[in-house]
Structure 1
Amino acid sequence: MSLARVLVSLCLCVFMMAEAAAQPLPPQVQRLLEQYRVPAEGISVLVQPVTGGAPLLEHRVDVPRNPASAIKLVTTYAALEVLGPAHTWQTEIHTFAPVVNGTLQGDLYIRGGGDPFLVAQEVWKMAGALRRTGIQRIQGDLVFDLSHFDIPREDPGAFDGQPFRAYNQPPHALLMNFNAISFQFRPAEDGRSVQVAVDPPLADLRLDNRLRLGGQSCGTFPQGVGFHVAREQPVPRVLLEGEFPRGCEDVSLLRTALPPEEYAYSLFTELWGQWGGTLEGGWRLGRIPDPTSRPRVVHHSPPLGDLIRPVNKHSNNVMTRHMKLALGAHRYGGPATLEKGYAAIREVLEREGIDTRGLVMDNAAGLSRTNRITARQLAGVLMAGRRSAYMPEYVSSLALSGMDGTLRRRFVGQPEAGRMHLKTGYINGVSSVAGYVRTAGGRDLVVVVLINHPNAHRWAGLEIQDALLRWVYRQG
């Protein structure tokens, strides 16, 4: 036989083996794709054992697609590998003026360290620690040192035109309580008006409640409730107008309304007052006069191993972005930049043998129209996560089917409940899910589903995902 014929035969054999290994999509998935008019070219699927080996199912696994929030799997894995689960963030309080009889005769400096979880309770603890140093009255201003982050100013409404949605809050070196306000609604006892409570209560925010009760069903909320922010002086004003469903009780909206510095000033002042402290000044931006000075108070965040749980289980966007900034600064030195964070992530993946060609991560949380990753790359991250020394922290951070996080309402009371640790992702035209499935027979599999198509709206995407996940669960 000639060499040419040998080569042709070899190529044909390889082709036939590849065709045999490339299984078609399960029939139930194909039916749903046809029903919702999503072409097979619009979906990538990879299912394989967590230890690697031959895939049980692979379909267009090398097509770069937008993963939406499933990209958090990449960011949190890299953060664990670079920072370690015991990593904490520090917020420092400095004083440079004398303290006489409990009075700080000058300014109080707060240096933000990019803490992704400086929630109200943590700020309260920090204020209490300051009070215990002997200060009760602050004559000067709060001075915020934000130099730990070197990032461009960002329009919070750039992604989807919703600048006051809490999920759009950009990173900030001194982000307190995610800069978020919970507006809590219930019908008033008079049967005509609507009561609105604000948490946390902020003195530097005025609420103008013009809501009236309407006859809509509670399921329509928050449709019909208008939310507007007016940057008025001396304090901003939130205007609520429209109709609130008469049958609704104890529902809420989570929104932003103040710039982060104004929010931090107002929240700190409120919580400082709870410790019996007084603040006479305002706020301004500045830098610590002597960076080598010893802080009066150092507040530590909870450890990273705890904080990746709200990121992956509940898909917290701004926390994810803070983690990317932190791992970049840790790897390449401060200040934290977007470029350093991206470089650190690529370095971690390449060290694990994951081909990063075509990977695009302009937003580490998934709020992007240009993010791209292949199913093969994402599966590589998941398998690396299973090999990691920090595997327990990584896997347990994912939502558990039918039990918690973004999967708490899926597979409830069904055999698949509690058998899947997954990260979901949704934006317009994108529906994704990825993680780990323990099958009915006890096999541990990695699964990645990436759907990019205009018809992959939320409910269609969920049905396609669930059909594929049920199929995976039954694979031995």
Structure 2
Amino acid sequence: MLRPRLLLFVAVCLLTVCRATITAASDLPASVRQALEGAGVPLADTAIWVQAIDSRTPTLSLNAEQPMNPASVMKLVTAFVALERLGPAHTWITRIGTDGPLRQGVLHGNLYLVGGGDPVLSFERLWKMLRQARALGVERIVGDIVLDGSALSLPPHDPDAFDGRGLRPYNAGPHGLLLNDSTLRLTLVPGTRPGEPVALAADPPLAGLTIDNRILTADGGCGLWYQTLEARMVSTPDGLRLALDGRLPASCGRRDWGVAPLSSAHYGVALVTALWSEVGGRLDGRVHTAQAPAQMKVLLTEESAPLADVVREMNKWSNNLIARQLLATLGASAIGAPDMVSGGAQVARAQLAAAGVRTDDLVIENGAGLSRTARIRADTLGQLLLAAWQRPWMPEFIAALPLAGVDGTARRRLTGSPASGYAHIKTGTLNGVRAMAGYVLDRHGRRHAVVMMVNHPQAQASQAAQDALLEWVWAGH
């Protein structure tokens, strides 16, 4: 049984906690409170944290110690740790090598394409590499083309696991030799009248994949045009077929639609097979995956863009696959982890702790935020933003964030608001989740770190509340 003095102590503590929560809620800007009420979102399911960069204490703090699902805002953690550990100038190297003599245009052996974990190796860059190999004298390969993705040790990846939409590019998995985001771009051009076939152009070429296009032109407004389209993979005796169905309104005009029809490894085989033929190369064997021998002779190398550019691509457009690749890259230095994804999460927690950022209740599944289990506290994100501001790579970190009302995933936020163009924010949305975090420059020239997360079935309706918070901070309250 608790002694009276201990009971009194507990009661005082509980009263203090309750009073702090009530005070924080009562201090919430009226515009934010009203927007949340209008959206049907309780304050208990909302976390807010605001602090001026030059201040020692938060301006606003509501449920800031409550772990919440941040959706794509988790990419701020991945970006911070990658820039802190690897540096903004870090690059990845992809190599082409051989294991046999090259005589009179004929390679008597295998050609190896060895990945280094490059998150942004496009098919244009791959085409250039293969074209350079041709220019260096490789016209015919007596052996095979071998693709080596062993640079990253990864757990099994199921693209359907998150939401059952395995052909969506955001569900593609990381790979040591990731090529073109494992994505096929389908350019759709509707006809002029309903019922007419929609013209299709697909790139890059993927050997062994046929496309059955049954998309027809429709009338009406464009709206969320991609929601009326369906893609599915069909296995036939002649190989794999990508079947496309649906309607595309003529009012949409040309549209680009991305699909991820193959696993990263199989995509690489199909792409390299097609591109080697396109550059005029001949192959006696086949393209397949395996590990390159240690004695491979390097023929040429391709260096990626620097990490600062990669982080910008990740955060401006919320690229999940880049985030997955970065987390796996970070995991290469982890000790005792079963794979580089869990190792990356281990490294991230340690790096944040070393920077003075609390990691209580932090759960990292894949570094992208495409997760139902990921969790982070608003005050953790706030501390991360303040720590990033003090880093030498701060300009690269902030420049990678979408500018509300201007570019990236926040280009349609704060439209017509005086705060438009003054908020660098990373946003995130999932079913039941809407979040944002970043920096706001107020009208007096003072910068603030801002975090807001909503985890509630009506979270999608809370954007107005987030925008109200950004405008309140911009006004300099």
TM-score normalised over the length of structure 2: 0.92
**Residue in structure 1 matching 2:233, options 206, 224, 229:** 229
- Report whether the alignment pairs 1:130 with 2:128: no
- Report whether the alignment pairs 1:323 with 2:326: yes
Corresponding residue for 2:89?
86
Corresponding residue for 1:474?
475
| Equivalent residue letter for 1:240 | L
Cα displacement (A) at 1:20: 9.4
Distance change (3 Å), C-alpha of 1:423 and 1:218: same
**Structure 2 contact 98–297 (Cα < 8 Å) conserved:** no
- What does residue range 348-359 of structure 1 map to in structure 2 within 5 Å? 348-359=351-362
- Report whether the alignment pairs 1:390 with 2:393: yes
**Residue in structure 2 matching 1:214, options 211, 218, 226:** 218
Percent identity of the aligned residues?
40
Cα displacement (A) at 1:52: 4.2
State the alpha-carbon separation in 1 of the partners of residues 404 and 368 from structure 2.
21
- Residue 400 of structure 1 aligns to a residue whose secondary structure is coil
Cα displacement (A) at 1:214: 2.3
- Residue 343 of structure 1 aligns to a residue whose secondary structure is helix
Cα displacement (A) at 1:16: 11
Q: What runs of 5+ residues in structure 1 fail to find an aligned partner?
A: none
State the alpha-carbon separation in 2 of the partners of residues 292 and 106 from structure 1.
13
- Residue 422 of structure 1 aligns to a residue whose secondary structure is strand
- Residue 87 of structure 1 aligns to a residue whose secondary structure is coil
- What does residue range 341-352 of structure 1 map to in structure 2 within 5 Å? 341-352=344-355
Corresponding residue for 1:244?
248
**Structure 1 contact 272–278 (Cα < 8 Å) conserved:** yes
**Structure 1 contact 45–58 (Cα < 8 Å) conserved:** yes
| Equivalent residue letter for 1:182 | R
Corresponding residue for 1:463?
464
- Report whether the alignment pairs 1:69 with 2:72: yes
Distance change (3 Å), C-alpha of 1:152 and 1:16: closer
- Report whether the alignment pairs 1:422 with 2:425: yes
- Residue 388 of structure 2 aligns to a residue whose secondary structure is helix
Corresponding residue for 2:375?
372
Distance change (3 Å), C-alpha of 1:41 and 1:15: closer
**Structure 2 contact 409–427 (Cα < 8 Å) conserved:** yes
Deviation string, structure 1 residues 364-403 (Cα, Å, up to 9, x no partner): 1001101010000011111111011111111100001111
| More displaced 10-residue stretch of structure 1: 186-195 or 172-181 | 186-195
Q: What runs of 5+ residues in structure 2 fail to find an aligned partner?
A: none
State the alpha-carbon separation in 2 of the partners of residues 259 and 171 from structure 1.
10
Cα displacement (A) at 1:340: 1.7
- Residue 453 of structure 2 aligns to a residue whose secondary structure is strand
Cα displacement (A) at 1:136: 1.5
Cα displacement (A) at 1:462: 1.5
- Report whether the alignment pairs 1:308 with 2:298: no
**Structure 2 contact 269–289 (Cα < 8 Å) conserved:** no
| Equivalent residue letter for 1:466 | D
**Structure 1 contact 142–265 (Cα < 8 Å) conserved:** no
- Report whether the alignment pairs 1:254 with 2:255: no
- Residue 231 of structure 1 aligns to a residue whose secondary structure is strand
Cα displacement (A) at 1:210: 1.7
**Runs ≥4 residues deviating over 4 A:** 10-21, 330-336
Distance change (3 Å), C-alpha of 1:58 and 1:190: closer
Distance change (3 Å), C-alpha of 1:255 and 1:207: same
Corresponding residue for 2:276?
272
Cα displacement (A) at 1:251: 1.1
**Structure 1 contact 148–336 (Cα < 8 Å) conserved:** no
State the alpha-carbon separation in 2 of the partners of residues 310 and 335 from structure 1.
29
Corresponding residue for 2:202?
198
State the alpha-carbon separation in 2 of the partners of residues 55 and 86 from structure 1.
33
Cα displacement (A) at 1:185: 1.1
**Structure 1 contact 147–335 (Cα < 8 Å) conserved:** no
TM-score normalised over the length of structure 1: 0.92
Corresponding residue for 1:149?
152
Corresponding residue for 1:183?
186
**Structure 2 contact 143–284 (Cα < 8 Å) conserved:** yes
